Amino acid sequence: MLAPTITVNGSAGTLSGVDPSTTALDWLRSRGLTGAKEGCAEGECGACSIMVARPGDDGGTRWTAINACLVPAASLDGGEVVTAEGLGSPQSLHPVQHEMAVRGGSQCGYCTPGFICSMAAEYYRPDRMPVASADEHDHELDHEHGPNGFDLHSLSGNLCRCTGYRPIRDAAYALGEPDADDPFAGRCLAAPPALTSTRQEGPTGVYVRPTSLAAALDLYAAHPQAVLVAGSTDWGVEVNIRGARAPFAIGIDRLPELRTLDVGEDVIEIGAALTLSEIERRLDGRVPLLAKLFPQFASRLIRNGATIGGNLGTGSPIGDTPPALLALEAVIVLASTDGERDVPLADYFTGYRQTVKQPGELIRAIRVPLPLSGTTAFHKIAKRRFDDISSVAVGFALDVADGIVSRARIGLGGVAATPIRALATEAALEGQPWTADVARAAAAVLRQEGTPMDDHRASAAYRTATLGTALLKLHAETATPQEVGA
């Protein structure tokens, strides 16, 4: 098998002799492309941002910004990468580079290449449209989108310590449309890079990326202790911060069988290897609870790589998707060489970072039953609005008919060793009128759910208090003025 190869800024580069644990960032910098930098090694600062060619929603290619510090270089085999150096040159600046320069968007410059790549990916977003002149007055109230349609969420994973962000925002909002002969825009019209079979061996282990689910399951059955690598937003931190190494890793991020999204009459099935950004685009608000969750999940840079299966597969008690999916009564589809089985998410977690998955099993899909509840909300309590880990997360899904709560489902994260359902609170709500008095009584029950603990993110007392407040907030946001005063 030939050594893995990545096309970087239009030129092919081989990974011959590169250890499987080497990140894309370290490999790029070893080739002299030092614009991308390591700031945090956790995917929180964006200094390492690069653009990769990913499948678009219409059969074409979509330029996508990701954290190069997290993904194994071998996972980009057969792919196309563009760094800040490849976008333009001092003699011929790319429009993003030009606007950042003339508007003072760069001072010390350490973070600038990362901002450039994240901004360029948004510049080429196919559905970025200028705001119609008739809507300009209303648009002034939207502080997260520019008059050119630029979505500031695309920069939520990029941190700057110098500029105060205003000149960076000005540069983003000054961008026009790509020229007709822009080569990067032209690349979006062609098919994305094809999936290739990959095997990379080195002193620390082996990385293998099969091209089918059947092949992946055979590998996993033969190596049940293998690390499954998709977006690598969790595993990459283990590699960088804790020095973890995988004797055998299986790349599953490109498997077609894990990248489907089907909407049926009674269920929505989401492939486990779809990234959160892809799910957000393809659902397009069809599941309101998830639509409320996605903007609060880490940053766009992370969501561009993080998969829904990976967020569940880690078994973390503070993952953001489990509380919402618990409220939606989601079902996990587990696959192995023995076949498939369905597991309700409420039965999936068995202990701290432990699940019912058996050796050789992986998550193939997540199923959300239909119809959906009419009243939903996702409340995340964290130290920052974006790009942060939750202290407490709550997913609500209520059916309220004629002022009576006929059905209540509440998922909680950050208040126990596993994500949990708030069963006692659900029982306290069902069959009761959706009034302020009932909400207050149920909030008192909700404060007793789980076994919150003190840690560096929040105290147990704070977590307990926020649980009750979350239900009161939900009532205030959804009740009629008469009900609020009841």
Q: How many domains does the chain have?
A: 2
Q: Could you tell me the mean pLDDT of each successive run of 10 residues in the chain, 486 residues long?
A: 91 97 98 97 97 95 98 98 97 97 95 98 95 54 86 95 94 97 97 96 97 98 98 97 97 98 98 98 97 95 98 96 98 98 98 97 98 97 84 97 97 97 98 97 97 90 95 91 50
pTM: 0.95
- Domain housing 26: 1-200
pLDDT value for 142: 73
Q: Is the Cβ–Cβ distance between 282 and 264 less than 8 Å?
A: no
Asked whether residue 191 is assigned to any structural domain, the reply reads yes
pLDDT value for 383: 84
pLDDT value for 479: 77
Token code pair at residue 3? 């050594």
Residue 135's CATH number: 3.10.20.30
CA distance 83 to 50: 5
Q: How far apart are the first and last CA of the chain?
A: 71
pLDDT value for 457: 86
pLDDT value for 133: 55
* Strands annotated E in 147-279: 198-202, 205-209, 227-229, 248-251, 261-263, 267-271
pLDDT value for 136: 47
Strands 49-55 and 80-82: antiparallel
Query: What is the per-residue pLDDT across 391-418, written as a single tens digit (0 to 9) for each?
Result: 999 999 999 999 999 999 999 999 999 9
pLDDT value for 187: 98
- Within 10 Å of residue 356's Cβ, how many Cβ atoms? 13
Alpha-carbon dihedral of residues 61, 66, 68, 72, nearest 10 degrees?
A: -70
Size of the chain in residues: 486
CA distance 387 to 301: 9
Asked whether residue 434 is assigned to any structural domain, the reply reads yes
CA distance 364 to 252: 10
Q: Which amino acid is at 168?
A: I
Token code pair at residue 94? 């790319």
- Within 10 Å of residue 407's Cβ, how many Cβ atoms? 17
Strands 198-202 and 404-413: unpaired
Asked whether residue 40 is assigned to any structural domain, the reply reads yes
Q: Is the Cβ–Cβ distance between 84 and 35 less than 8 Å?
A: yes
Asked whether residue 235 is assigned to any structural domain, the reply reads no
Asked whether residue 429 is assigned to any structural domain, the reply reads yes
Query: Greatest CA separation found in the chain?
Result: 71
- Within 10 Å of residue 471's Cβ, how many Cβ atoms? 29
Asked whether residue 310 is assigned to any structural domain, the reply reads no
Asked whether residue 367 is assigned to any structural domain, the reply reads no
Residue 467's CATH number: 3.30.390.50
Residue after which a domain boundary falls, among 157, 175, 200: 200
Q: Is the Cβ–Cβ distance between 195 and 211 less than 8 Å?
A: yes
CA distance 486 to 89: 65
Residue after which a domain boundary falls, among 141, 172, 200: 200
Handedness of CA 268, 273, 275, 276 (dihedral sign): positive
CA distance 220 to 248: 10
Query: What is the per-residue pLDDT across 54-103, written as a single tens digit (0 to 9) for each?
Result: 999 989 999 999 999 999 999 999 999 999 999 999 999 999 999 999 99
Asked whether residue 127 is assigned to any structural domain, the reply reads yes
Strands 248-251 and 205-209: parallel
Residue after which a domain boundary falls, among 166, 200, 234: 200
Token code pair at residue 288? 């309101």
